[in-house]
């Protein structure tokens, strides 16, 4: 019985499950969302990934038809058929509060069906100490089994970027920390089925848990620095990206690109998972807090910049029409979690602006969605381009034909040529 059960079929879990099926493994994919399980059985998912010319939907169909992938909402069905269990259920954050019960409920469920000889590998991003202090006791209590004797437990962080999941599960080096040597050996074996890169064996789960959080938080700090730089260069009328390009010619400097904020779960949540522990220990973690504040405030800073330009034109947010083209949390994504573009949208609405947005990748019934770029752009006083979605055909001609004459174009991705836009009378702003 060498099947695998994967708990959580989201942006990580589904492509991870399908990657194992590509290597011939039978995978039971468990998700609590029954509607979603029905969709998966009909080869439908909101996740945008592709691999070697196939879409995730095509890979899903193939894996189900070959009998290699079984999407289910029954943990019992899954766990009676496998010895390896991978957890990708995360810890959501609502209004700054960690909803730890979402993750721990999944662990309780697994504990109830755990058998002698099973291996549990946690791949979710979690606060330091969670594998040892939360997962192990729950599994032991629910199963009446003893960790490292009856079952095995390890942690390996997930490092993929959405949109590159299939490739990066196989090519991104991973690290693993475990409760004992046998757990580590089993986890390495499970990881190496799909990952042909180096698997770094750490001394304990905490090293890998904290390393994952720092990998993300280091990007938060770096982006905060670039966003702060953007405020400086904007005030001095100097090109931010040119400054970064020059600075990065230094061999030991790597500044990241500024934007309208930091979205997704990975980066913003990591610092909050660290604060969960550091607050308990009364550690100030000033730098990480400051980086969070700078990046969180970024959509508001962007709106202030736009508001100032509107004022120069004798307009105000209240009576202006805004078009936001692309609202996902980053380029070529369907994910709107913690999306700075969505936050900017809410800020504009709160300030009384009129708004339409367009993003073909974002699924779901959301208010103020236009059905195409033209509709969103119609009569806009301000056109905001926060991200780049390759399937949005946006051009200066399209903006000219639909937006108001002399509109403001806020182009965070430099998709529109500044000179041409200004020649046509637009006010062009970038970061």
* Footprint of ligand NAD (CB under 6 A): 7-13, 30-33, 88-90, 102, 105-106, 109, 124-125, 158, 160, 162, 265-266
Closest distance to ligand NAD from the beta carbon of 21 (Å): 17
C-beta closer to ligand NAD: residue 5 or 306: 5
Dihedral (CA of 318, 319, 322, 327) sign: positive
Closest distance to ligand NAD from the beta carbon of 73 (Å): 8
The CA–CA distances, whole Å, from 3 to 30, 64, 78 equal: 13, 15, 9
Q: Which of 22, 101, 119 is nearest to 69 (CA)?
A: 22
Cβ atoms of 76 and 113 closer than 8 Å: yes
What is the C-alpha end-to-end distance of the chain, expressed in Å? 54
The CA–CA distances, whole Å, from 330 to 40, 265, 294, 298 equal: 25, 11, 18, 15
Catalytic one of 212, 330, 388, 404: 212
C-alpha 357/C-alpha 371 separation (Å) is: 9
Cβ atoms of 1 and 83 closer than 8 Å: yes
C-beta closer to ligand NAD: residue 7 or 410: 7
> In this chain, which residue has its C-beta nearest to ligand NAD?
10
C-beta closer to ligand NAD: residue 124 or 227: 124
C-beta closer to ligand NAD: residue 321 or 330: 330
Sheet holding 354-358, edge to edge: 354-358, 321-325, 382-385, 408-411, 427-429
In this structure, how many other beta carbons lie within 10 angstroms of the beta carbon of residue 1? 11
Structure tokens at 43: 């080869």
Task: Note the residue count of the chain.
Answer: 431
> 266-280 and 205-236 are packed helices; what angle lies between their axes, rounded to 10 degrees?
120
Closest distance to ligand NAD from the beta carbon of 416 (Å): 29
Closest distance to ligand NAD from the beta carbon of 236 (Å): 36
C-beta closer to ligand NAD: residue 209 or 411: 209
Q: Is 54 a catalytic residue?
A: no
C-alpha 125/C-alpha 122 separation (Å) is: 9
Q: Is 266 a catalytic residue?
A: yes
Q: What is the DSSP letter of 263?
A: -
Closest distance to ligand NAD from the beta carbon of 126 (Å): 7
Catalytic one of 147, 266, 330, 345: 266
C-beta closer to ligand NAD: residue 98 or 382: 98
Closest distance to ligand NAD from the beta carbon of 322 (Å): 29
C-beta closer to ligand NAD: residue 12 or 64: 12
Contacts of 89 (CB under 8 A, 6+ apart): 7, 8, 13, 102, 103, 106, 124
Backbone dihedral angles phi then psi of residue 97, each to the nearest 5 degrees: -105, 130
Closest distance to ligand NAD from the beta carbon of 160 (Å): 5
Cβ atoms of 3 and 27 closer than 8 Å: yes
Among all residues, which ones are annotated catalytic? Answer: 212, 266
């Amino acid at each position: 019985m060498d099947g695998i059960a994967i708990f959580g079929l989201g942006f990580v879990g589904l492509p991870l499950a399908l990657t194992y099926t590509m290597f011939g493994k039978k995978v039971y994919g468990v998700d609590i969302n029954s509607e979603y399980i029905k969709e998966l059985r009909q080869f439908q998912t909101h996740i945008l990934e592709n691999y070697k010319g196939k879409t995730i939907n095509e890979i899903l169909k193939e894996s189900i038809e070959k009998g290699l992938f079984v999407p289910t909402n029954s943990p019992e069905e899954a766990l009676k058929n496998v010895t390896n269990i991978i957890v990708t259920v995360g810890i959501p954050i609502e209004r700054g509060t960690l909803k730890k019960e979402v993750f721990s409920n999944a662990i309780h469920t697994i504990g109830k069906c755990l058998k002698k000889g099973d291996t549990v590998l946690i791949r979710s991003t979690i606060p330091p100490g969670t594998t040892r202090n939360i997962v192990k006791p729950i599994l032991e209590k629910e199963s009446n089994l003893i960790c490292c004797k009856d079952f095995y437990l390890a942690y390996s962080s997930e490092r993929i970027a959405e949109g590159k999941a299939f490739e990066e599960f196989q090519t991104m080096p991973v690290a693993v920390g475990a409760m004992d040597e046998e757990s580590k050996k089993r986890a390495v074996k499970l990881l190496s089925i799909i990952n042909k890169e180096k698997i770094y064996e750490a001394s304990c789960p905490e090293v890998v848990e904290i390393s994952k959080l720092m990998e993300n938080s280091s990007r938060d700090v770096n982006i905060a620095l670039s966003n702060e730089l953007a405020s400086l260069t904007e005030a001095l009328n100097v090109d931010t990206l040119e400054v970064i390009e020059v600075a990065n010619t230094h061999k030991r400097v790597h500044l990241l690109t500024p934007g309208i904020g930091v979205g997704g779960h990975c980066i913003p949540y990591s610092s909050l998972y660290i604060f969960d522990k550091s607050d308990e220990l009364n550690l100030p973690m000033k730098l990480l807090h400051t980086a969070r504040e700078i990046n969180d405030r970024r959509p508001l800073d962007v709106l202030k910049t736009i508001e100032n330009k509107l004022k120069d034109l004798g307009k105000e947010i209240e009576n202006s029409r805004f078009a936001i083209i692309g609202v996902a949390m980053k380029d070529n994504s369907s994910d709107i979690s913690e999306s700075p573009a969505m936050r900017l949208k809410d800020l504009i609405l709160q300030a009384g602006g009129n708004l339409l947005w367009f993003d073909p990748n974002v699924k779901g019934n959301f208010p103020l969605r236009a059905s195409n770029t033209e509709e969103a752009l119609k009569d806009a006083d301000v056109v905001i381009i926060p991200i780049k979605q390759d399937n949005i055909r946006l051009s200066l001609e399209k903006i000219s034909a639909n937006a108001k004459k002399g509109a403001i174009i806020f182009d965070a991705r430099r998709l529109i040529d500044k000179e041409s836009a200004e020649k046509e009378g637009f006010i062009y702003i970038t970061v």
